[in-house]
Amino acid sequence: MIKQEWIDKGYINEAVPEGIDLKAEIRRLCAEKNAVVLAHYYTDGAIQDVADFVGDSLALAQIAEKTTADILVMCGVHFMAETNKILSPEKKVLIPDLNAGCSLAESCPAEELAKFKAQHPDHKVVAYVNTSAAVKALTDIVVTSTNARAIVDSFPKDEKIIFAPDKNLGGYLNAVTGREMLLWNGGCHVHEQFSIEKIVELKAAHPAAKVLAHPECKSAVLALADFVGSTAAILSFAEKDEAKEFIVATESGILHEMVKRCPGKVFLPVPPMTGPCACNECAYMRLNTLEKLYNTLKYEWPVVELDEELRTEAKKPIVRMLELSK
């Protein structure tokens, strides 16, 4: 039975039995229920370590589509769980905390995008995956930071395009492709907050370090970067490059995987513009905890559901993306 208290909170707040090995219990429940845990690189390291699969948005979407599991537990944010449900309607999709939203997705309400689209009827709509199912249903194709440039380049040069919702990623794509896409005025609360001054300070203290930046960062930050790419691309670059120190301008959760993959290398997170923290974390991603994950598997709630008509429409641009990303 689903308790009203859970519904009010958006997650299960039952006490976890004292003394249990949470990670072992999570793995036991996964085996018992034929469930898999999908974790984004931006979640806490403990979540990543217990997950079946860790990746960026594109990799996790591809895994969700192919896995034979009966239950998918998305440790990330809500739009990622929605994407899993869009691609795998026959599976039960769970998320540890319904409050795990996304500032970027929330910056683009579907009804507002629909109005903007109606004002530009001769434009194709390209949407970042960091959007709600309702927004995806309005778009021609979805992109991730991994495949965005290749997909934008697949359009004819004279194609008129609306890019939503990230103005920073859209601006970066305009710069590298030579296009003039119309940009929605949205942004990520993490990537908008990196301090240029602190990057300069870190570079002065570590002159041999290379600066790695996610394209959701502001153009001034990207101008300081030695490499700009998605989380997966940043990881790959750090693995292959000869540098021993890296200044990292993306959500600090990625450092967990970087350290695992690159022993002997040093990774320095870029702090935000304000606050005492030495790193920049996504508050939504940090809502995923081992305790919530355990309870989610135990009680099989919160469940992510979608209206079937909406799901069908939202699937079309995702399928187009996946076909172009093979």
Reported as a single tens digit per residue, the pLDDT across 15-25 is 999 999 999 99
Q: Which pLDDT belongs to residue 279?
A: 59
Q: Which pLDDT belongs to residue 275?
A: 58
Q: Is the residue at 139 inside a domain? A: yes
Task: Flag residues of the chain having pLDDT under 50.
Answer: none
Q: Which pLDDT belongs to residue 189?
A: 85
Asked if residues 123 and 182 have their Cβ atoms less than 8 Å apart, the reply is yes
Total domain count, the chain: 3
User: Looking at the structure, do residues 84 and 132 belong to the same domain, yes or no?
Assistant: no
Give the DSSP H/E element, type plus range, for residue 245: strand 245-249
Residue 9 φ then ψ, to 5°: -85, -30
User: Looking at the structure, do residues 116 and 183 belong to the same domain, yes or no?
Assistant: yes
pLDDT tens-digit readout, 101-152: 999 899 999 999 999 999 999 999 999 999 999 999 999 999 999 899 999 9
- Angle among Cα 4, 8, 12 to the nearest 5 degrees reads 75
Q: Which pLDDT belongs to residue 172?
A: 97
User: Looking at the structure, do residues 92 and 12 belong to the same domain, yes or no?
Assistant: yes
User: Looking at the structure, do residues 249 and 291 belong to the same domain, yes or no?
Assistant: no
Asked if residues 295 and 31 have their Cβ atoms less than 8 Å apart, the reply is no
Peptide bond connecting 302 to the previous residue in cis, omega within 30 degrees of 0: yes
User: Looking at the structure, do residues 159 and 224 belong to the same domain, yes or no?
Assistant: no
Q: Is the residue at 275 inside a domain? A: no
Q: Among residues 189, 206, 226, which one ends one of the domains?
A: 189
Buried b (16+ CB within 10 A) or exposed e, 212-238: bbbbbbbeebbebbebbbbbbbbbebb
Q: Is the residue at 276 inside a domain? A: no
CA distance 188 to 166: 7
Domain containing residue 8: 4-99+285-306
* Unique residue bearing structure tokens 């996964």: 30
pLDDT tens-digit readout, 270-284: 987 765 555 578 899
User: Looking at the structure, do residues 172 and 184 belong to the same domain, yes or no?
Assistant: yes
Residue 188 φ then ψ, to 5°: -90, 130
Q: Is the residue at 296 inside a domain? A: yes
Q: Which pLDDT belongs to residue 58?
A: 76
User: Looking at the structure, do residues 13 and 95 belong to the same domain, yes or no?
Assistant: yes
What is the CB neighbour count within 10 angstroms for residue 291?
15
Q: Is the residue at 91 inside a domain? A: yes
